[in-house]
Amino acid sequence: MKFGPVAPADAIGGVTVHTLRQGSLLLKKGTTIGPAEVDALAAAGVDQIVVVQLETGDVSEDVAAADVAGAVAGDGVDVERAFTGRANLFAAQAGVLVIERAIVDRINGVDESITFATLPAFKPVVAGEMIATVKIIPFGVAGTLRDAAVAAAAGGALRIAPFVISRVGVVSTQLPGLAPKVIEKTLRVTAERLAPAGAAIIAERRVAHDQAALAAAIEELIGLGAELVIVFGASAIADRRDVIPAAIEGIGGA
C-alpha cells in the first residue's frame, strides 16, 4: 500500500488520509479520489494531497474487516456491514457469550494493522447487543495478512450459548414477622432479572419454613412445568441438614 503526498491527477483511485478544507472545498477523510475530486482540488489551488493507494494484492479496510468478522462469527452472532474499516458483531439472541481466547489472541497476533476486541467471556447478553468488533487500522492491508487473520479464526472465535430455561417456579418460606412486602419485592426483582434471559415466573408458592412444606411446594411447581425452581428462605442455611437443603435432598436433589 502506498502512502504519501501526490499531485491530485496522480491520486485517482486513492483514499484521502486527512480531511482537507481549502476555501469552499471540503474533502473528508476516507474520500475516494475520482475525476470530480481532481477538478475540485485544482479549482481550489491544491497541488498535493496525502492519500493511500492500494497496490496489487492489497484489500481495502472494509473488505478486510468484513472477511475477518465473518470468519470469527459463530452460532448466534450477526455481523454488521463494515464501514470505515470496522465491522461490529452483535448477539442474534439472548444467551451467554462464549469466547475462544486462544483464537482471539492468534488473530491479534497476525499484525498490528488487524485488531479484534470482545466483551468479557461468559457475559450474559441480549439480542442486538454489540459483543465484539474487528477494526482495520490503516486504509488497507496486504491480502496475505487478511488471509492469515481469516485462517487464525478457523472454527469461529465467539458464539452465543442461548438460554434454555424459560419456565421458573419460586418458593418463599415464611417465619413469623416476615412482612409480605419483602416477598413481593423479591418476586418483582427476580422477574426483572429473569426477563433478559427470556424466562418468566410461571407460579410462586409461600409456605412455612418447614422441610415437608417446602418439599411439597417444590414438587408441585415441578409438576406445573417449572424447569427451574428458586427457593428464597426466610432464614439462612446453617447446615446441609437445615430446612432448605434437607427438603431438596428429600425429593431426590443433591
- Residue 11's pLDDT is what? 87
pLDDT of residue 1: 78
Whole-number pLDDT of residue 14: 87
pLDDT in tens, 156-171: 999 999 999 999 999 9
- pLDDT tens digit sequence for 22-55: 888 888 988 889 999 998 998 888 888 998 888 8
Q: What predicted TM-score, i.e. pTM, was given to this entire model?
A: 0.76
Over residues 85-129, the pLDDT tens digits come to 999 999 999 999 999 999 999 999 999 999 999 999 999 999 999
**Quick count: other Cβ atoms within 10 Å of Cβ 20?**
19
Report pLDDT digits (tens) over 175-224: 999 999 999 999 999 999 999 898 999 999 999 999 999 999 999 999 99
- 252 φ, ψ (degrees, to nearest 5): 100, 5
